[in-house]
Each structure stands twice: as C-alpha cells, then as structure tokens.
Structure 1
Amino acid sequence: MNENVEVRITDSSKGKGLFAIKKINSGSVIFEEDPLVSCQFSWNAAYQYRACSHCLRPLETAQENATRLAGHFVELPYPECCTTDKTKTVSCMMCAEQYCSVECQTEAFNQYHRTLCLQTAERNNTHPLEGLNEAWKQVHYPPETSTVMLIVRLLARIIQSPNKDAAIEQTLQFCHRTVNEDAELAHNLLGEKFADQISLLHNLLLAAMPHEGIEQFLTPAGFQGLLALIGTNGQGVGTSALSQWVTKTSDLTLSDEKRDVLDKFIDNLYDEMDEHSGNFFNNEGVALYTLQSACNHSCVPNAEPNYLHNNHRLSLVATRDIEEDEEIVISYLDECLLQRSRHSRRKELMKNYLFLCNCPKCEEQAEEPDVTSEEDECMSE
C-alpha cells in the first residue's frame, strides 16, 4: 500500500477511485510507479525518435536530438548538462532492439522480450509482427494515441509469466466493459474510416503470437476488449534528451548576461525545431499503470502525470493541496479540450470513455448553452 493513497470502492457509477489517506501539498509527488508494460508509438519509432525499447529513455544525446529536430547541425553549449549516457547503450544480439542499459535489456527479456525475440530468427519485413505493426501504422496515423504493439507485449508478458493466472488477473483489472462497449471503444480508437480493419489486425495478431495461455484474448471479442483496454487505460509517455538538457541548464549558476544569451539560444532553437519538425519533439509512447489507472477523470483535476526520471516511470504530482480523504483526480482530456464547453468535454469523454462527466466544473456549467457548430468543427480538425 502506498503511504499517500489507497484505492476505494465508491458509491457512484465510477466504481472505484484513488483517495488521499493524508494531506498532500501542492507540487508534491503523490506516488511513483513503473508500468505493467510500455511501448514506443509505432510512427514515433519509424521517424527515428531513438528511445530505449523497454523504458523509453532517450538514446540520443541532447545535441543529436536538437540537430535532428532542427534539421541542421546544432552545437549545444554546456554539454555537461546532457543526461544521456551512450556508453551504457546495448542491443539485443538476435533482433537488434536497443536499450539504455543492461538492466533494461534484462528486464525486457525476462518480462516479455524472450517470447517475441525467439521468433526473430526469420524475422523480416514480411513477418507477422512486422506486418501487424505496419498495418497499425496505416490505420492510426499521427498524432498517435496508442499502438497495437502494446497489446503484443502485454500478451507476451502473460505467456512468459511464471504465474499465468496472476498475470491474466492483472490484465483483466483494466477490463470492465461489456462486449458491446468494447466493440464501440475499439471502433472509436481507430475511427470510422478504419474501423473495418479490426479483423485484419486481429488476424495478423493471431499469426504473430503463440496461443497457449492467452486463448481468451485471441477471440474476436477478446481482441476488441484489448483494443478497448489500451484505448481507455493507456497513459501517454514522453521523454526528451533536449528537455532534460534545458532543465539542467536552468540549474547552472550564470551571470545575467550569460543567462540572457542562453535563454535567447534556447528560444531560437525551439523556433527552428518547430518550423522543421512541428510539435513532435519527444520520444512518445504509451503504458499501462496499475495504480494510476484507478484515478478517475475531472475537468478540474488536482493531480497530473509527469515523467521526472525521463523514462516510463510515472510520477503523479499534486497540482493543488489535496485534503485527507479527498479523491485524487486527473484529466483524461488535453489542455485544449479542457478549455472547451461542457458539451464538448462531455461529448469527447462519452465517445472515448463511455461516461458523462459530473465533476464540479460540469455541474457548475449545467445551465450553459450547448457548443456551437464552429467549436465542434475546430475540435475535429
């Protein structure tokens, strides 16, 4: 049990929630946890965002990161502020997957990679695993919200587990929908244009994975349930060598003149990266967290996920003071959507999570008129 929180059954339609068992101050780390499983987004990896295959820690130096994103060579001052240690990078001898350390490689192999790597002796661009990944990329263009390869690792984790029943139970804790709801969520994850590709993805998964011990997840309904699982419980993960360098430079003791020069350099660099790479600065992926998944949504959250260790380890940070016995809530919507009308927020939550929000903000705005058509059009762009 975490010393700050506990999961409780609620008397509402939410079923369960995460509650503070003592007062938590604003800015405090409420808890930290490693995921059950995580995976880099498929397009993110294809675009050469180099990250540890297991924990998503950057494998580029900050200077390499800035150079790639800006589209020209960038020489960063204060190179000692780079946190990437490339001397620790290792690769799998069979499949060439890269890891930030021997420790990550060992963890991956023991948790799920042995099952996947054993198939790689003949692995090429026509192998079912590659075919599944490529098919996913064609039905889930950037900006990405998940990847089917997270399902592959989740199932491989069950196959490798010394206690399959316990591993299945851990997986099923994320599944609490009906078959019809799972189907609706699976379609929403892909969007109307690609919803009919679910059977293609399912067949590719069947060809890619051993079946023993995971049969219940390999039926059409089971697969739709897994898509619903990652769509509703997957937590985005972002890491960046450059952002770590920027953070470290802020701790340097510099004269006002040198600080001003550095600030202008950083501002100009981000402008150049934005022009060349758009908003896609980070190594991005998705993960499943046991404790964090118990957090319910609110349009006025009191906590937010952070990645203070620059890998997939999640730190839930209080955004305001939280009183003892108060529920800890996060936003399932991004900052832009949170600023939309009550109608827009509830519409988005119903589509992607199948619930109507009754948080204090939504209750306070209950008498407001519905969203305009212009706002809906803006949201769909």
Structure 2
Amino acid sequence: MNVEVRISDNIKGKGLYATKKIEKGSIIFEEDPLVSCQFPWNALYGYNACNHCLKPLETAQENARRLTGIQSLELPYPECCTTEKSKIVSCSQCGVNYCSEKCQGLAYNQYHRLLCLQIMDRSGIHPLEMLEETWKNVHYPPESNTVMLIVRLLARILQSPNPDEAIQQTLQFCHRTVNEDSELAHKLLGPKFEGMLSHLHHSFVNAIPNHECIRQFLTMDGFQSLLALIGTNGQGVGTSPISQWFNKATNMGLPDAEQELLDKFIDKMYEDIDKHTGNFLNNEGVALYMLQSTANHCCIPNAEPTFLHNNHRLSLIALKDIEPNEEICISYLDECTLERSRHSRRKELMENYIFACNCQKCESQANDPDVTSEEEEDEKSSSSSFIEDMSN
C-alpha cells in the first residue's frame, strides 16, 4: 500500500498519509465500497445502471439517444462502446438488473437476500418502496444522498457471517455527538422538511427487520446518526456509457480529417444533450468507502476520487507529487465552491460536516472579509450602481 491511516498533524483525529513518494497523476489506491446505491430519482428518470455496482446497462448509442431525445442518432465507431449487454442478468424474484452474474451474486450475498421485493404487504406496496417514496418526497434532484444506502448498510450487517465485525465497520464512520448527529440529519433533509424526520424514521423502522444486533440503529438517535453518517461520508459515484465511448473514440489515433469529423459530431451531440437534458448526464449514486473516508478535507487538495472502471470502484488519483509522510487530502467541496471566498467555503463545511477548515489556503485568507461570495457580489453590484448613479 502507498498509504496508512494515523493521527493527523493538522486536525484532531485521523488522516491518510503517504508511505512513499507518489507521483502526480498516479493511482494512489483503488477500493470497492462497503455498500453503494443509485439515487432513486436518477433511476426513475431512466438512467439504467447495475443495481449493485452502478455500471451502465445502456449502450453508448442508447444513452446518447435518450439524452439528446434524437431516436435516429447513430454513434460512429460503435466498437468503442464498453457496455456488454449479453452479460446483463435479473433477479428472478423482483426483477432488478445487474451487469453480470458476479454482481448479482455479490449483491445477494451482501444484502439483497433480505431486501428482495418479493414479499408484499396487504396494501400491495412493499415497506421498502414506501420508504423510498417518502425519501423522494423530501429529497428532490439534484440528489446528493439516499436513505436506501442506510438500508443496504444494515442488511449487510444482518447478512454478515460476522455481524459484530460489520457493526464495528459501520461505527467507524460515527464519531459525533447526539446533538451534532441531529443537526446534520436535519441539514440533510433541509429546513423545509424538518417535520418529516419523524415520518421518515417511522417508514425506515417498518422497512427494516427489528433484529437485536441492529436495534441501536433503529431508535431515533440511531437513525439520525446513520443519516449523519451518509451525509458526511457518502461519496458520490457517477458512471456513463457515453463518457467511456468518448474516451475510446477520441484516443483511436484517427487521421486528421476523420478526427475533425468526429470532433464536430461530438460537439453537436453535447449541444443537443444540453438542450434536451441539461447537466444530468450520468448514472449517479452514493457509496461508503472504508479507506477513502479517512482522507481529510483541504481547499487545495492533493488527491481526487475518480471512477476509472465505470462502476463503483473508486480510484484515488494524485493531483500533484506527494512526498513520504505527507497527508493525502481531498476536497469535500465541488470545484465551483472551492473558488468561492474563505467565508463561503468554511460556512458550507461547518453546515455539512461540522468543522472549520484551517488548511493553508484558508489560513492565508484569514484577513479576508467574513462575507459569503454572494454577499461579495451583492456589495460589488451595489458599489457599481452607486458609482453609476453618482456619475449621472
């Protein structure tokens, strides 16, 4: 391994450190998650992915036609599509699809045996379906998480040959106070739906077997702790058949004339996608990773999670050269937020992760005004208007 987990030099708690020199652009490590799950709205809108690993089940051409709305669209170089439809299998009981028999077997052995929707209640709606509908009613796109990840996490414990070990792996992610868990749980739902937490908890308890070994997680405090867990540790996963086709097609080494035609085709295709679909291009979901979750945040990260295999297997890539014993940090914020003011970044990190960032970038901007980027823009706009009024 290129890394080890130890007490962090920069914050109270653990961090991820390099054990030897890691060169920029190299893979630091790869890791499969404890559990992963596609977002409910993403699946509902036709983003067809493996129910276990999120690998696309559409061909690149099917994907392009759906996203552009152009059913006659023909992708050149179809051999660059990586989707293997001949390997797709379905659960014989509930019909969910997997990219391969291997994924189907992994899902069944880890959590699906308990979660298969073959048993219906008197109303004809499975409690798990009721829970997912409740979640969808309080968590609209753009999605950032799903309560169904918690369901799979607990089913994993119940199906584990060593439940105590599986519980300890789960508790590794829980390290806040009850009040902090409550704050994060409400933040995940948003202020508009604070009153829905009790209803969501009720649906959750009805959908999960009330087994002694997971009873600590079924109380309201336990449920809030699990919501806080996925809110602070859930890593977004994105897969796409078009992106894989794009990467292979643009790296074929075509003659200049052919490459120019391909580039024009791709530009037009993405214009059509933008008009028809907007920014929602990928199969999207969330996952929990044991090793990646130990990486702390930095506003100048030296590593970045990516998904090179077009499924939920995470690859951590070095963004710069990393020296032995240097801490490996990722960004908990998106690229746009990273470019905002220090106050904006720290405000979002405090609201979503309950910590104040003291990285090198934040320390260098310590004397900047304590205003958000929006407030800064408002001030600039007001100043411009004032100057314009004065000049008139």
Classify the TM-score, shorter chain. over 0.9
Match of 2:198 in 1: 199
Match of 1:146 in 2: 145
Identity of aligned residues (%): 68
Check the 8 A contact 2:295/2:329 in 1, yes or no. Answer: yes
For residues 373 and 19 of structure 1, do their structure 2 counterparts lie closer, same or farther at Cα, with a shift above 3 Å needed? closer
Shift of 1:49: 0.3
Match of 1:167 in 2: 166
Match of 1:32 in 2: 30
Residues in 1 aligned to 2:170 and 2:374: alpha-carbon distance in whole angstroms: 40
Structure 1 gap ranges (5+): none
For residues 15 and 86 of structure 1, do their structure 2 counterparts lie closer, same or farther at Cα, with a shift above 3 Å needed? same
Match of 1:52 in 2: 50
Match of 1:42 in 2: 40
For residues 193 and 376 of structure 1, do their structure 2 counterparts lie closer, same or farther at Cα, with a shift above 3 Å needed? farther
Check the 8 A contact 1:125/1:131 in 2, yes or no. Answer: no
| Correspondences of 1:256-267 after superposition (within 5 Å) | 256-267=256-267
For residues 11 and 327 of structure 1, do their structure 2 counterparts lie closer, same or farther at Cα, with a shift above 3 Å needed? closer
Residues in 2 aligned to 1:211 and 1:81: alpha-carbon distance in whole angstroms: 48
Count residues with an aligned counterpart.
375
| Correspondences of 1:208-357 after superposition (within 5 Å) | 208-212=207-211, 213-357=213-357
| Correspondences of 1:35-114 after superposition (within 5 Å) | 35-73=33-71, 74-114=73-113
Helix, strand or coil at the partner of 1:214: helix
Residues in 1 aligned to 2:289 and 2:372: alpha-carbon distance in whole angstroms: 36
Q: Counterpart of 2:46 in structure 1: which amino acid?
A: Q
Helix, strand or coil at the partner of 1:50: coil
Helix, strand or coil at the partner of 1:371: coil
Shift of 1:125: 6.3
Residues in 2 aligned to 1:20 and 1:12: alpha-carbon distance in whole angstroms: 15
Match of 1:6 in 2: 4
Q: Counterpart of 2:109 in structure 1: which amino acid?
A: N
For residues 186 and 280 of structure 1, do their structure 2 counterparts lie closer, same or farther at Cα, with a shift above 3 Å needed? same
Q: Counterpart of 2:343 in structure 1: which amino acid?
A: H
**Higher mean displacement: 120-129 or 201-210:** 120-129
Helix, strand or coil at the partner of 1:121: coil
Aligned alpha-carbon RMSD (Å): 1.4
Structure 2 gap ranges (5+): 379-392
Shift of 1:257: 0.8
Check the 8 A contact 1:61/1:84 in 2, yes or no. Answer: yes
Shift of 1:188: 0.5
Q: Counterpart of 2:88 in structure 1: which amino acid?
A: T
For residues 372 and 224 of structure 1, do their structure 2 counterparts lie closer, same or farther at Cα, with a shift above 3 Å needed? closer
**Higher mean displacement: 75-84 or 366-375:** 366-375
Residues in 2 aligned to 1:279 and 1:10: alpha-carbon distance in whole angstroms: 37
Check the 8 A contact 1:303/1:320 in 2, yes or no. Answer: yes
Check the 8 A contact 2:341/2:372 in 1, yes or no. Answer: no
Shift of 1:321: 0.5
Residues in 2 aligned to 1:328 and 1:257: alpha-carbon distance in whole angstroms: 43
For residues 62 and 365 of structure 1, do their structure 2 counterparts lie closer, same or farther at Cα, with a shift above 3 Å needed? same
Q: Counterpart of 1:34 in structure 2: which amino acid?
A: D
For residues 337 and 162 of structure 1, do their structure 2 counterparts lie closer, same or farther at Cα, with a shift above 3 Å needed? same
Residues in 1 aligned to 2:377 and 2:92: alpha-carbon distance in whole angstroms: 50
Residues in 2 aligned to 1:159 and 1:177: alpha-carbon distance in whole angstroms: 24
Residues in 2 aligned to 1:11 and 1:301: alpha-carbon distance in whole angstroms: 16
